[in-house]
Each structure stands twice: as C-alpha cells, then as structure tokens.
Structure 1
Amino acid sequence: MNKKLRMVSFVLLATLAFATQKESFVAAESPPTDVISMAPTYKDVVYATVTNDDGKKKELKMNIFKPEGVTEATPVLVYIHGGGWAIGDYQGDDAPKDAKKETAAPPNRPAQMTGRATDQVATDSAYQVFKKVLEDKIAFVSIDYRLSGEAIFPAPIYDVKGSIRYLRAHAKEYGIDPEKIAVAGNSAGGHLATELAVTSDIKELEGDVGGNLEYSSKVMAAVDFYGPTDMFTMGPEMDPTLQSPEEAAETHDSPRAAEAKLLGFDKEGQGVAVLRDIRDKKQTNSPYWEKVKLAELASPINYVSSDDPPMFIAHGGSDSLVSIQQSLRLRDTLNHAGVENIFMSNSKAPHGGQGEDVNNAAITWVTKKMLNK
C-alpha cells in the first residue's frame, strides 16, 4: 500500500471511529424530561383547613412540582385553575383518570364547542401550558380554593392568599425562593390571579386562611388568561356579534349566572343586573347594598394602583363567554397607573386555548421576570 493510499485509509477509519463514538455518546445522553407527565414532588399538601358556608370542614391542598436536578432554592409559579368558580381542583391534568369515563378533550381543542355560552367554561389545558415552567428550572404549584357551591366570595381569594403565605412560611422545606413567587390563572383562575396581584394592601381581602399572617401574600408577577375583571359589566360588554344581548344577560346578569353564585346572590329575582341597578341609582339604603359592595370587592379593576406587579394578559378575540373588553379595560387601567403590562390577543381564539404563540409568549415573559433575565 503506497503512502497516499495509507493516508486516505487512515482518514476514513478516523472519520468512522469519530462518527461511531458520536452516535454512542448521543445514545447515552438522557432524554429530555417530559415535564407534562411529571408527578408532583410533594403531593396533596394540605395548606389550610377551612369551613364552608354550610359549616362543613374542607382541607385545601396543593401539588408542588420541583424541577429535576436543581438543589438551590427556585422561583415558583402558582397556578389557579378555572371553571367558573364552580368546578375544578388543584390536580388539573394530573388528576387520576377513570378508565370507564371518556377521555379528556385534546389539550388544544377549544372549550366552546356547542356555541352555547353556558357550556363554555374554560376546560383547555392552561394547566399544561403553565406547568412548562419546570423546563426553565422554576417550581410549579397548583392550588385548591373553595368553589362557589362551597363558599361565596371572598372565600376563594382568602384561600389563594393563604396559599401564598403558606409557601413563604415553608420555603426552606420545599426549596423555593420566597422572594420569587408569581401567579397565573385562566378564566375564573385568571380573575383570582389578577385579584391577588392588585389587592395585596387591601385588608378586607386578606383573610386568615391557614394562618402565617406574618408573611406577605404579594407576588412578583401575574399572568391572566381571559379572566373577568369587573362583575358589573360582563353582560353589557359582550360583543353582540358573538352573543346576543338576551343570551349575554342570561349568562351574566341572571340569578343562574356564575357571578351570581360567586356572590351568593342567586335566588329568584336576584342576579348582577339587580345589583348594577342599585349601584347606578346609588340606593345605599337597599337591603342588597352589601352585595353591591361585595361585587365591587370581587372586581380587580377597582384596585389597580401604581405599586402593582407587572402583568401579562391574554384574551381571545372570539371569546363569547368573557368579553375581551374585560381585559382591554384592565390593560388601560394598568397603563393609566403606570403598571408594566403586556396584552396579547389571538383574534380567533375562543374562551379557551389561546394558541401556541400566545402560550409561548406568556411562558417566556413570566420566566424572564422570575429569573431576572
């Protein structure tokens, strides 16, 4: 074999050896962690025991997910589920599946399939969207709160604030950074996330759920996916091209509405329309004036101030359950107060899945806030 041929053979052998070694190395690498299917690091953690309006006790729970391979204290994103304040719990998509029941809707399928507003409670997988923060070494916590059939407002915001205080009080135990807690929610959960973000200095809305009152319930950032912001205007603000005024009134102003149940004003002849009329006429001597004030307390639009944390707001332009005007007015109010915010709208998105671009933008935004990038 001449010198030139030997050199070519050596190069070929070296190339083959390197390629084989590279393939072996790639095969030996651990596959990326599938955070969506990850089990809770701390499961069914009881953060408070509360009393429902009927006197029964309830344990409020949370699931805590820590990113794999991280030993230092991590930021944490607290997720608040939607469901018209009436359904759902902290387990989200990680709830045990009943094999006898039909499988859940695909994650990206819009919630509003029938066209009826009353069937449009957001059941998209916002839970999975926000759980992805685990990929960025941020802890994910999904919390429970009392539903409207268990206790009326302000019970759910008391519960949410109690969960934040609990996490701060137990930060060392769970390996989280108590100074880097953000919140995210969709639909009713978006409402509670916003309410939490803008009412940190409102004693009437703090409560004492779970104790730990020496700790703050403030958050450093909030993500609101199509949440209500004003209890009084849900019906009147609905776009008539998406829902008729009559149906909007039934959905939001009647005693059968989710808002009426949240406020405990859901008997025949009651509903938000009655409260709006009392408020507009300033009938302070009405026996329902306290309910008017309760509806105001439940409307985060009333409490925006310059020291509120930055917010990311997403709302679909085709939402026929919660009018996009609820989020547009929140954006404008935040702007007027000088509070940093980002508003995104997928014009075709319903009350549910907002699309990959909006989801990714929200995760990127909250991740940068929490990691101070």
Structure 2
Amino acid sequence: MAASRESSTIYEAADGSELPMLVFEPAEGTQPVAGIVMFHGGALRKGSADGLAPHCRQLASRGIFAVSAGYRLIGQRAVSIDDCIADVRLAVEYFSRLAASRGLDSSRLASGGTSAGGHLALVAAMIAPDGPFPASKPGVTAVVALNPVVDLLAYSPEQQHVLEQGAGIAAGRAIEYSPIEFVRPGNPPMLIQHGTRDEVVPIDQVRRFRDVMVQAGNDCILIEYERAEHGFHYPGPAGHFDDVVDATAEFLLHRLVSRREAGAVVPAREWPFDGTAGSTVVTTR
C-alpha cells in the first residue's frame, strides 16, 4: 500500500482562536482524487483531531486527501453546540480551500466524523447556518458518518433533557438540531456505518433515518456491523477498523470519482453495494 504524507495546519474558529487541522495526503507525486474532512467524537466535551488520524492516514494511502479537524469543546472555549457547529462550517470552508490547492473542486469533497462529530457534519451539511432550513450549499458533495446521532427526538423526554443540557440547547429545542427533521430531496449522498449493539445510538434510530432519506429520493447507504458497539471503528480489538476504512474509501471513490479515473487507487475489493439508494450491508466478525 502506498505511503502517505502528513502535516498540520490551523484554521480560525468562529471566536477568532486557532484550531488544529491534521492533513494527510497521498505519497509525493500522487494526485489526490477525492477529499474528506472528518470531525472527532466525545459528546462535544472531549476528544481531539488525533482521534481520527489513523483513519485519515489510511485514506490518504488510498489516494484521498484526508483531514482531521478539531473544534471548540463545550466547557472549554465553546458555550453550546452552536459554537461547535460554527467551527465545523469554518473548517469545511478552510478544507475546501486546501483541497482546491491540490486540484480538487467541491464535487470531489466530503465531510464526516464519528459520534458527536458525525452529528456535527450532518447538521452542517443539511441545515443552513441562518436558521432551521435545508442547507442549499453545504460545501461538500457527500457525507460519511460513523455511529452518528441522527434523531434527537428518538430518546425519552428524560434523555432529551440530558442531551439538551449537555449540548447547551435551550429546553425543547432539540428538534432544531436533529438531522432526521431536515431530510429533503437533494440532501448529499451519505454513507453511515453503525454497530448493531450501539448503546449510545440504537441501530433502529439510524435505520429510520436511512429509510426517510431514501423515501425523499436521496442516496443513503447503511453498513451494519453485527454485534459492534459504539466506537467500534477504531484500531484495536473490535476488529472493524480496516473494513470501515475500506468502505469509506470505496464510497468516496465510487460516488465522487469515475471508475476509469479512479484507476489503480480503487481497492481491489469490489464495491459491496448493489447501487440502490437504500442498500444495507451487514458485516459480521
């Protein structure tokens, strides 16, 4: 597998402070064919850009310009989820400029993340910054989310209250941050990878989101990892890291790059989906 190049930079947060952006590129002399910016998890209160560095490193070795970006955390420099979302939007804009300098236009770019970071990526891509309306220009062409929260109203009233308090959302306004409420025709194509034993975001929540996306005429692929729990995709004993990276790379290359142009950078394994918008693949270990 080809090596990758690594560097780091900073971008300006919505409050003017500096935030880290870890940059992973294909080996010297290799032109990237697609790009993705990813956001870490941690319930908006912990975590760092280092969390998804292994994923980005492997994606870069497959010909993808991959970036892992930080954002302000609640209890530190962020007051509420609104600050986190504002930073994610700015990170996507800065990433787009970096990608353009590598010869990639917006049609080749995706955003994504894990858990809270996946939720932030979905919100930024689906909801306009000036209010609870569908975003017309999300800045990316596709979204890849790993065990994301997609329906804040799927939890009990007590759990919703805890979520609102933890995220700095005013009481009763969780609906304004719930991706499933903003599904409309024309949402970006999405790949969601999720464990069937996720104790934080039950798989049924994600299946409903997939179904609503498909009913609206959107492209939404769900990969279910049998018996996998929340955070199943990291390197380690869970054993799904390679499968998650492979599926992410294949999705990006399949959706954003023509088969001919992708050429040798497409992994040897065939694209596992049948091409229908609501395909589901169950992966077991």
Using structure 2 for the length normalisation, give the TM-score: 0.76
Equivalent in the alignment of 1:4: none
Equivalent in the alignment of 1:135: 61
| Structure with bigger RCO (C-alpha 8 Å, 6+ apart) | 1
Q: Secondary structure at the match of 2:14?
A: strand
Which letter does structure 2 place at the counterpart of 1:221?
A: A
Q: How does 1:243-254 map to 2 (within 5 A)?
A: 249=158, 252-253=159-160
Q: CA deviation at 1:225?
A: 1.1
Equivalent in the alignment of 1:80: 39
CA distance in 2, matches of 1:171, 1:130: 14
Q: Which runs of 5+ in 1 are unaligned?
A: 1-31, 52-56, 93-125, 207-215, 237-248, 266-290
CA distance in 2, matches of 1:303, 1:138: 29
> What is the CA deviation profile of residues 100-119 of structure 1, one whole-angstrom value per residue up to 9, with x for unaligned ones?
xxxxxxxxxxxxxxxxxxxx
Q: CA deviation at 1:148?
A: 2.0
Q: CA deviation at 1:363?
A: 2.7
Q: CA deviation at 1:372?
A: 2.8
1:167 aligns with 2:131: no
- After superposition, the Cα gap between the structure-2 partners of 1:260 and 1:230, relative to the gap in structure 1 and judged at 3 Å, is farther
Answer yes or no: is the 8 Å Cα contact 1:84–1:258 preserved in 2.
no
Q: CA deviation at 1:321?
A: 1.6
Q: Secondary structure at the match of 2:105?
A: strand
Answer yes or no: is the 8 Å Cα contact 1:346–1:358 preserved in 2.
no
Query: 1:220 is matched with which residue: 141, 163, 183?
Result: 141
Q: Secondary structure at the match of 1:321?
A: coil
Q: How does 1:271-282 map to 2 (within 5 A)?
A: none
Query: 2:19 is matched with which residue: 60, 66, 69?
Result: 60
Query: Going by fraction, where is strand more abundant, 1 or 2?
Result: 2
1:204 aligns with 2:171: no
Which letter does structure 1 place at the counterpart of 2:39?
A: I
Equivalent in the alignment of 1:369: 255
Which letter does structure 2 place at the counterpart of 1:133?
A: L
Q: CA deviation at 1:80?
A: 0.8
Answer yes or no: is the 8 Å Cα contact 1:344–1:358 preserved in 2.
no
Which letter does structure 1 place at the counterpart of 2:254?
A: K
Q: Secondary structure at the match of 1:203?
A: coil
- After superposition, the Cα gap between the structure-2 partners of 1:162 and 1:69, relative to the gap in structure 1 and judged at 3 Å, is same
- After superposition, the Cα gap between the structure-2 partners of 1:179 and 1:351, relative to the gap in structure 1 and judged at 3 Å, is same
Query: 1:185 is matched with which residue: 107, 113, 123?
Result: 113
Answer yes or no: is the 8 Å Cα contact 1:70–1:137 preserved in 2.
no
CA distance in 1, matches of 2:32, 2:246: 25
Q: How does 1:289-328 map to 2 (within 5 A)?
A: 291-293=171-173, 295-328=174-207
Bigger-Rg structure (1/2): 1
> What is the CA deviation profile of residues 110-169 of structure 1, one whole-angstrom value per residue up to 9, with x for unaligned ones?
xxxxxxxxxxxxxxxx54234322122110111111212222022212111111222334
CA distance in 1, matches of 2:13, 2:231: 31
Using structure 1 for the length normalisation, give the TM-score: 0.60
1:260 aligns with 2:219: no
Answer yes or no: is the 8 Å Cα contact 1:78–1:184 preserved in 2.
yes
Which letter does structure 2 place at the counterpart of 1:234?
A: Y
Which letter does structure 2 place at the counterpart of 1:368?
A: H
> What is the CA deviation profile of residues 75-122 of structure 1, one whole-angstrom value per residue up to 9, with x for unaligned ones?
211111111111112233xxxxxxxxxxxxxxxxxxxxxxxxxxxxxx
Q: Secondary structure at the match of 1:50?
A: coil
CA distance in 2, matches of 1:134, 1:66: 5
1:47 aligns with 2:6: no
Q: CA deviation at 1:193?
A: 2.0
CA distance in 1, matches of 2:24, 2:244: 23
CA distance in 2, matches of 1:358, 1:71: 23
Equivalent in the alignment of 2:150: 229
Q: CA deviation at 1:325?
A: 2.3
Answer yes or no: is the 8 Å Cα contact 1:75–1:178 preserved in 2.
no
Answer yes or no: is the 8 Å Cα contact 1:182–1:221 preserved in 2.
yes
Equivalent in the alignment of 2:263: none
Equivalent in the alignment of 1:156: 84
Answer yes or no: is the 8 Å Cα contact 2:145–2:193 preserved in 1.
yes
Q: Secondary structure at the match of 1:160?
A: helix
Q: Which runs of 5+ in 2 are unaligned?
A: 234-239, 260-285
- What count of residue pairs does the alignment treat as equivalent? 248
Answer yes or no: is the 8 Å Cα contact 2:37–2:66 preserved in 1.
yes
Q: CA deviation at 1:361?
A: 2.4
Larger mean CA deviation between 70-79 and 322-331 belongs to 70-79
Q: CA deviation at 1:351?
A: 0.5
Query: What is the percent sequence identity of the aligned residues?
Result: 28
- After superposition, the Cα gap between the structure-2 partners of 1:358 and 1:76, relative to the gap in structure 1 and judged at 3 Å, is closer
> What is the CA deviation profile of residues 27-80 of structure 1, one whole-angstrom value per residue up to 9, with x for unaligned ones?
xxxxx4444xx532xx1x2221433xxxxx631221222211336464211111
